[in-house]
Chains A and B, each alone.
Chain A
Amino acid sequence: MAWFKKARTPRTSSTTEKPSRVPEGLWVKCPDCAQILYNKDLEKNLAVCPKCAHHFRLNAAERLRMLLDRGRWTEHHAGLSSTDPLGFTDTKAYRDRLRTAEQATGAKDAVVVASGQLDGIDVVVAAMEYAFIGGSMGVVVGEKITRAIEQALDRRQPLIIVSCSGGARMMEGALSLMQMAKICAALARLDRARVPYISVLTDPTTGGVTASFAMLGDLNVAEPKALIGFAGPRVIEQTIRQKLPEGFQRSEFLLEHGMIDLVVDRRELKATLARALRFMVAAPALEPQVAVAAMADADQSSR
């Protein structure tokens, strides 16, 4: 006999669009467990729901802040912008879409390239900005990431790319497609030069971004439950004329199929990257107590 007639059924995460960014305002409802969260608490927790560990989407600046020591970095190539080489117009002119995205994000395109330190190791980081036309990759994203790779190669510093993208940008046509080739050519040089590259895959990482640099890390690390795939789920459903199984194209699915190395909670991400980088570059081993301190520092810098 139940004391309450109606058991609360938590809303299960569905494959439908979920509000990803932390919404403005004091209180936020977690789209996964429906818990009402105090915005400040959520921010302190790296935008991870304290109750169910749902990972809200981070913007590029938040990502860099959580990864780099003391939340400090130097941004590079911020001025690059697209000239709309195709003169593309659909229901709206691409130029207008660019302007709207620029106003919304304060960025000129969908990636921020930065250098800084991760747990004392000099690194080059490219963090993608989903709010800028779905984090799509056009010529500017391609160029900035290529420059980040070349910078990592020149300085012999590890490269970290945090992907968050719907794929290649349609409005720049085949030029967007060619960015996959351009970036991979640069990654070939980085690989041959034995400079480390860690790919961090976050929700979502799809299309031409997955089929180029996101899958080519010496280490591929994903945040939990991130959508990661090549073809979009709807396209696949049309092909096979069936509903896709629960969890298809999520991080854990890719881990199971051997496509990524690790699924790591965002709150452990920096410490995990720091440890992995120490395998790849010459850096002193961490004393146990130092390691703890470093993790505390990592936590502080990101909070």
Chain B
Amino acid sequence: MPPDLLEFEEPIGVLLKEIEALSMLPQTPERQRSIERLQAEIESIRADLYSRLTPWQRVLVARHPSRPTVLDYVERLFTEFIEIGGDRRFADDHAVVAGFARYKGEPVMVIGHHKGGGGDTKQKVYRNFGYAKPEGYRKALRAMKLAEKFGRAVIAFIDTPAAYPGVESEERGIAEAIAYNLREMAALDAPIVVAVHGEGGSGGALGIAIGDRILMHEFAIYSVIPPEGCAAILWRDSGRKIEAAEALKLTAPDLLAFGVIDEIVPEPTGGAHTNPDLAASLLDGPLARALADVSTREPAARLEARYRKFRAMGNVGIAEP
């Protein structure tokens, strides 16, 4: 199977091989028609598969190694990007990107996790596979405070497996870094639009994901724990990840129904990685609308609405006598 295909896309792989075999032979009008027929078949199989993805299949798509990154979106939708670095405390965390940019001509602050997607192993190691450390969260907050200072909006791209679970993370206070961000973002006097475009991995994702409007990509996931971890704890068998993925209700439609997110951003059939240009243009509309909407509000009203939004989270699951 071609490396870009996921395990459940095997039927597509088979057809791709047939096409490959046919392309090796001398071209004839008849062979050309066969190839076109096969390509149409692939499209129809893909459309069918992606119209009814299971939660676990969505996990695979969301984690696809070529899933577009924050910088892929910056390149396509933003101009004048200048990356800024460092938390002014300890280090610069490459798993989190922050920088000035223009969106629709307006200056904005972009922040986001970066898994090193699309790159080689070296690139992924450089980004620590998107596992941010305390300095990453502190850099992001520093960037957001700059946005507040200069009256700019913040656009946050969420895509991380989790905060880095290592010794130095604990030593430098990963829990405090996330907690402090949650508190400060809730009260940050700047419009914030969040796009959960890949993997919304628990507290590591949430640590830069408080905002006035939460967008989520069609095949992205957002969860309190990875399905493997959940299965290992509750089923005592990480192999039960497929059931755990079902049970956790981590898909965009589920989270929309629970009020955790505000809007689903459509993706190209086959996932954002199959067509990053199209993925970017599909994000453009919802992002521009959300940003325009929250930016026009009075600051006090915007902060009050943000508070109310998160204050109501979970009401759906509470019974009061």
Contacts and interface: CB of A to CB of B under 8 A. Distances in A.
Given A80-B320, A139-B318, A142-B314, A177 B166 contact: no
B167 A240 contact: yes
B250 A174 contact: yes
A167 to B, nearest CB: 9
Contacts of A119: none
Contacts of B306: 185
B175 A210 contact: yes
Interface string A156-178: 00000000000011111111111
B316 A175 contact: yes
B246 to A, nearest CB: 10
Contacts of B176: 211, 215-216, 259
B175 A181 contact: no
Given A182-B310, A211-B203, A174 B222 contact: yes
Contact of B318 (A83, A170, A235): A83
B314 A230 contact: no
Contacts of A173: 223-224, 248-250
Interface in B193-215: 200, 202-203, 206-207, 210
Given A174-B222, A177-B202, A187 B175 contact: no
Contact of B165 (A86, A179, A231): A231
Interface residues of A, number: 63
Contacts, number: 208
A172 B183 contact: no
Interface in B242-292: 243-244, 247-250, 255, 258, 260
B175 A175 contact: no
A180 B206 contact: yes
A86 B167 contact: no
B313 interface: yes
B65 to A, nearest CB: 20
Interface residues of B, number: 60
B227 to A, nearest CB: 10
A5 interface: no
A82 B317 contact: yes
A204 interface: no
Interface in B151-179: 162-167, 169-176, 178-179
A143 B311 CA distance: 8
A208 B203 contact: yes
B36 interface: no
Given A90-B235, A175-B260, A185 B186 contact: yes
B302 to A, nearest CB: 13
A239 B316 contact: no
Interface in A63-113: 79-86, 88-91
Interface string A185-217: 111110110000000000000011011111110
A229 interface: yes
A249 B320 CA distance: 37
The 4 closest A-B pairs by CB, nearest first: A85-B317, A139-B314, A231-B165, A184-B182
Given A138-B317, A177-B223, A248-B167, 19 more contacts: A80-B320, A82-B319, A140-B317, A168-B202, A170-B225, A172-B317, A175-B314, A177-B202, A186-B311, A188-B184, A189-B307, A208-B203, A212-B203, A215-B173, A230-B163, A230-B175, A230-B178, A230-B203, A235-B165
Interface of B: 162-167, 169-176, 178-180, 182-184, 186-187, 200, 202-203, 206-207, 210, 222-225, 229-230, 233-236, 243-244, 247-250, 255, 258, 260, 306-307, 310-311, 313-321
